[in-house]
């Protein structure tokens, strides 16, 4: 969970009221944080804030905490309002970046007055969002620049590796390749772009380099100080919605410091996969009669896709009032629910037993009515709820199958493998296409059909995984810069369609192992499988099969008690290429339920 330092005095300036340290300990709960430590430095009291929510990057700075507390205490209520003016600045995105780092969104914040603490918070927020929410800059990287040193228009383009600029913290020019080799940030994050044919570069109309996303800013424009009054913010990544959210978080935090937000027009090439919401269509197309006309005009006449960023349009949600009242266990009137939600920065309209909500664009964590319920309880105050002891005449014990799963984990660790834990959510491309599969039905490796989400927040998380092997290959693809051999495993859940069940699905526990190094073979994977079976007390057999994800002649099904429970083999080179993995990989995957019996070891 993100941890960061905040100054007590700075927080109180932003909230508009002073509190004791003991009071602050309770106030932090409104911002889903705990007070981890308190210390004094140069006569100033500092707090170590420990955020308990990785889905709320807007709460990872003094500005976000103070804003949440102002609303929770009733100093302000309802939806926060941020004015966004047009800047007239345009950024052009190079089509060559499509498979390198395709998306960028931008904003300008003017009229800042930054002291040392405000500057420190800005840098902290930038780094925490990119590190945690952005998965170590892979999905989100943020740059902040002195806009007074930038001459628009600005170009986000693919650059030759021999191009040069002075990176932040250096005095001499380096080529883009040298930056990856010599600069501290280049060494840390260079693996994100090292193997690409070009490197991303953000430059102004005079050719001055702003940054080399996602690695480092330039010394000329990228050094922001307490003398800086106007900043240009850039966010790059692979998911337009995700980087827009990160931009919204940063610019609204700067607005809490008195900054004025100005939008930037972003022009994408025609074939860019850009979501054009009507609210972010570039303003200069207002003369057209409808948004459909705008779409066709942009695509067909200009060959462009144009958006405005940031997009601070409020998001909407609807929840049943009875649901909130029933699950809180509190005696709340409709008015009480409205008041509590307004203290959590919602605009609320009560209609026919429902609450129609608008919430800020810097949040993206409201996916279910339970998320709204949580906000109601936070506003009410967890410390105000009297606990009740459950009236259950039962004694708890550990689930035997869970204990079996833990025993399998210990067994794999004993074989020298490292455990990984990957996401249950995935997408059809990862489960099928990248695995060299037109579809599934290889005895559930993978299944014939995926359980897909009807209205996913992001295309990247649009299905529940049907097998684990793609998740392990995804992990290996993100760690190609680490030393080999890499020997990993996961004990995790997959979701399969089962029409006979009430939910039409069933969750099954599986074990998957992947071995990656220059000399890995089918035999090495088989040795681990054989040892595991021996320890679990099962005899098994192998039958050669054909499977597009594996090399022909080096793949087989795993048979136990006459039934197929898994698959083993060497991953096909086409699959490795799809994942960007340059090492051979051998893997196996099997269902654990058929191997469960007591005693199990």
Tell me, letter by letter, the H, E, C secondary structure of 201-254: EEEECCCCEEEECCCEEECCCCCCCCCCCCEEEEEEECCHHHHHHHHHHHHHHH
* pLDDT given for residue 386 in this prediction: 86
Q: What is the pLDDT of residue 304?
A: 59
Confidence (pLDDT) at 601: 56
The pLDDT tens digits of the residues spanning 369-423 come to: 999 999 999 999 988 888 888 777 777 788 899 999 999 999 999 999 999 999 9
pTM (predicted TM-score) = 0.71
Percent of the chain's residues with pLDDT above 70: 93
Report the C-alpha dihedral over residues 109, 115, 121, 124, rounded to 10 degrees.
90
Name, in order, each residue with C-beta under 8 angstroms of 59's C-beta and a sequence gap of 6 or more.
31, 32, 33, 51, 53, 65, 68
Per-residue pLDDT at 6: 95
Residues 6+ apart with CB under 8 A from 526: 542, 568, 588
Residue-wise over 512-548: b if at least 16 C-beta within 10 A, else e? bbbbbeeebebebbbebbeebbeebeeebebeebebe
Instruction: Flag whether 374 is marked binding.
Output: yes
Classified as helix, coil or strand, 64 is: helix
Domain 84-309 has CATH 3.50.40.10: yes
- Which is it for strands 44-51 and 209-212: parallel, antiparallel or unpaired? unpaired
- Regarding beta strands 541-544 and 505-516, do their DSSP bridges make them parallel or antiparallel, or are they unpaired? unpaired
Annotation: CATH topology of 3-72: Phenylalanyl-tRNA Synthetase; Chain B, domain 1 (3.30.56)
**Per-residue pLDDT at 277 exceeds 60:** no
- The reply to whether domains 84-309 and 315-381 share a CATH topology is no
Give the Å distances, CA to CA, from 205 to 92, 107, 165, 223, 553.
Answer: 11, 17, 15, 19, 57
> Mean pLDDT for the chain?
90
Phi, psi of 184, deg, nearest 5: -55, -45
| pLDDT tens track for 458-503 | 788 899 999 999 999 999 999 988 899 999 999 999 999 888 887 7
pLDDT bucket at 1, cuts 50 / 70 / 90: confident
Over 70: is that where the pLDDT of 440 sits? no
Supply the DSSP string of 485-505, one letter for each residue. Answer: -EEEEEEEEEEEE-TTSTTSE
Q: Which CATH number fits domain 400-595: 3.90.940.20, 3.10.129.10, 3.30.930.10, 3.40.50.1000?
A: 3.30.930.10
CA 43 to chain centre: 38
- Domain extent listing, the chain: 3-72, 84-309, 315-381, 400-595
Looking at 3.30.56.10, 3.20.20.70, 1.10.260.30, 3.40.50.970, the CATH number of the domain 315-381 comes to 3.30.56.10
Report the run of H or E that residue 410 belongs to, with start and end: helix 400-414
Say whether 375 counts as a known binding-site residue: yes
Annotated ligand binding at 365? The verdict is: yes
């Amino acid at each position: 969970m993100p941890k960061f330092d905040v100054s007590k005095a700075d927080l109180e300036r932003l909230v508009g009221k002073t509190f004791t340290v003991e009071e602050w300990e309770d106030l932090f709960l409104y911002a889903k944080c705990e007070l981890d430590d308190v210390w004094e430095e140069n006569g100033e009291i500092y707090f170590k804030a420990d955020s308990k929510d990785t889905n709320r990057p807007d709460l990872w700075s003094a500005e976000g905490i103070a804003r949440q507390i102002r609303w929770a205490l009733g100093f302000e209520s309802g939806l926060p309002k941020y004015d966004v003016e047009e800047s007239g600045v345009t950024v052009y995105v190079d089509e060559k970046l499509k498979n390198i780092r395709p998306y960028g969104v931008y904003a300008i914040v003017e009229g800042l007055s930054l002291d040392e603490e405000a500057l420190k918070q800005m840098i902290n927020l930038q780094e925490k969002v990119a590190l945690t929410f952005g998965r170590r800059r892979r999905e989100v990287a943020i740059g902040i620049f002195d806009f007074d040193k930038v001459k628009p228009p600005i170009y986000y383009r693919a650059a030759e590796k021999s191009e040069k600029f002075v990176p932040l913290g250096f005095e001499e020019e380096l080529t883009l390749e040298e930056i990856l080799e010599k600069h501290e940030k280049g060494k840390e994050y260079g693996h994100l772009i090292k193997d690409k044919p070009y490197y991303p570069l953000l430059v102004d109309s005079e050719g001055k380099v702003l940054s080399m996303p996602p690695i480092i800013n330039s010394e000329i424009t990228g050094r922001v100080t307490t003398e800086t009054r106007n900043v240009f913010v850039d966010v790059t990544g692979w998911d337009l919605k995700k980087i827009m959210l990160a931009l919204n978080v940063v610019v609204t935090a700067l607005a809490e410091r008195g900054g004025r937000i100005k939008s930037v027009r972003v022009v994408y090439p025609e074939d860019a996969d850009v979501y054009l919401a009507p609210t972010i269509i570039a303003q200069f197309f207002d003369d057209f009669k409808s948004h459909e006309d705008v779409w066709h005009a942009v695509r067909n006449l200009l060959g462009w896709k144009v958006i405005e960023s940031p997009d601070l349009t409020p998001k909407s949600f609807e929840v049943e009032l009875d649901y909130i009242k029933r699950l809180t266990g509190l005696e709340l009137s409709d008015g009480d629910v409205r008041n509590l939600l307004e203290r959590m920065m919602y605009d609320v309209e009560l209609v026919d037993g429902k609450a129609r909500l608008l919430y800020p664009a810097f949040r993206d964590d409201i996916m279910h009515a339970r998320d709204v319920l949580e906000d109601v309880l936070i506003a009410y105050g967890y410390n105000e709820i009297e606990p009740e002891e459950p009236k259950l005449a039962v004694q708890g014990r550990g689930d035997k199958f869970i204990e079996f799963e833990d025993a399998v984990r210990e067994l794999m660790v004993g074989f020298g493998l490292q455990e990984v834990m990957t996401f249950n959510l995935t997408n059809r491309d990862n489960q099928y296409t990248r695995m060299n599969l037109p579809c599934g039905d290889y005895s559930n490796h993978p299944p014939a059909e995926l359980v897909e989400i009807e209205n996913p927040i992001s295309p990247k998380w649009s299905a529940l995984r049907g097998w684990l092997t793609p998740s392990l290959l995804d992990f290996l693809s993100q760690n190609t810069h680490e030393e080999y051999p890499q020997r990993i495993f996961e004990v995790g859940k997959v979701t399969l369609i089962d029409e006979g069940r009430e939910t039409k699905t069933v969750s099954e526990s599986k074990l998957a192992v992947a071995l990656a190094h220059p000399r890995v073979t089918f035999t090495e994977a088989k040795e681990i499988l054989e040892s595991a079976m021996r320890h679990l007390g099962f005899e098994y057999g192998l039958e050669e099969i054909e499977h597009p994800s594996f090399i022909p002649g080096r793949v087989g099904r795993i048979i136990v008690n006459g039934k197929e429970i898994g698959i083993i083999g060497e991953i096909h080179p086409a699959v490795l290429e799809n994942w960007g993995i340059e090492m051979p990989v051998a893997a196996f995957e099997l269902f654990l339920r058929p191997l469960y019996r007591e005693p199990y070891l």
